[in-house]
Amino acid sequence: MLKHKTHKNKNGVVHYWISEKKSNALLFLHGATMDHDLFKEQIDYFLSGFSVITIDLPSHGLSTPYSNFSLEDSAEVVIQILDIENIGQTNLVGQSMGGYVAQLIALNHADRVRTLSVVGSSPLQQKYYSKSVDIELFISRFLVGLIPYDLLIKSLVKEVAITDIGQAYASETLRNGTKAQLTDVMRKIHKYLRTFRGDPTLQIPVLITYGDLEKNARIKSACGKWADFENRELKIIGNAAHNANLDNPYMFNETLSAFLSNNESNRGGYK
């Protein structure tokens, strides 16, 4: 059972959920327009072995309204919550946007992260993308601005999930937000990805996953290069789209569990 808590800073109130203290911590970060319930199929599975933490990241879910959303601020909010909960190190799992936030945490607070796992996300380094990525991001943002929100929701739901459960969750979450919120978040994510100029190699174990029915070719291509260049573990989740951990929780949970077990010495927990 997770306890619902809040953290207030100068930009707003951030909601998070945390289980009882254990020696190993596992923190889940959702993607853009989603919320902490994206990981509802992971919570019970990992509760016996981990202190499980889920968060409604700034400008998402209950953590709305929130001023000045950014990936960098979201990463710092996570660190603030870890400090509040007296968690020295954690294992991070980030889906899509949450994967970018997780990478920033690992880059800027290397001592706080033991392992990183991403779901339907991609590396921050520009070298893993084709030169057309700026054009692709611009076109996608432009089209989002033109499409009526109801039609946009229907399109996005089919893109992120293939199961009834996954699509119902995505539809409900998107309808709880607004088109203005979605476009603001996407604009800021795209701007950050276009302007990121670092070339870091994380000094921690990294698990890369995406669904076999992932429709974003940019993600699949970049993840393949990321895995090859840095010798990272890459697992493709069968019968799953962008929200692969919700479409196929059994395969994802088994994959993540094996990765964490294989890196058992990288144990994160309370100070």
Domain of residue 14, CATH code: 3.40.50.1820
Specify the pairing of strand 12-18 against strand 3-9: antiparallel
d(CA 209, CA 77): 25
Residue 271, domain member (yes or no): no
- Contact (CB, 8 A) for 98 and 74: no
d(CA 71, CA 77): 10
Name, in order, each residue with C-beta under 8 angstroms of 258's C-beta and a sequence gap of 6 or more. Answer: none
Domain that includes residue 218, residue range: 3-262
For residue 157 the two structure tokens come to 């739901």
- Contact (CB, 8 A) for 235 and 27: no
Looking at the DSSP bridge assignments, the partners of residue 92 are 27, 116
Helix axes 179-195, 71-84, angle to 10 degrees: 100
Residues 196-219, buried b or exposed e (16+ Cβ, 10 A)?
beeeeebeebbbbbbbebbebebb
Structurally, the chain folds into a number of domains equal to 1
pLDDT in tens, the chain (271 residues): 899 999 999 999 999 999 998 989 999 999 999 999 999 999 999 999 999 999 999 999 999 999 999 999 999 999 999 999 999 999 999 999 999 999 999 999 999 999 999 999 999 998 998 765 554 555 465 566 678 889 889 999 999 999 999 999 999 999 999 988 988 898 899 889 888 888 889 999 999 999 999 999 999 999 999 999 999 999 999 999 999 999 999 999 999 999 999 997 654 554 4
Task: Write down the pLDDT at residue 71.
Answer: 97
Distances (CA, A) of 76 to 46, 164, 203: 25, 34, 20
Residue 268, domain member (yes or no): no
- Contact (CB, 8 A) for 58 and 66: yes
Task: Write down the pLDDT at residue 147.
Answer: 81
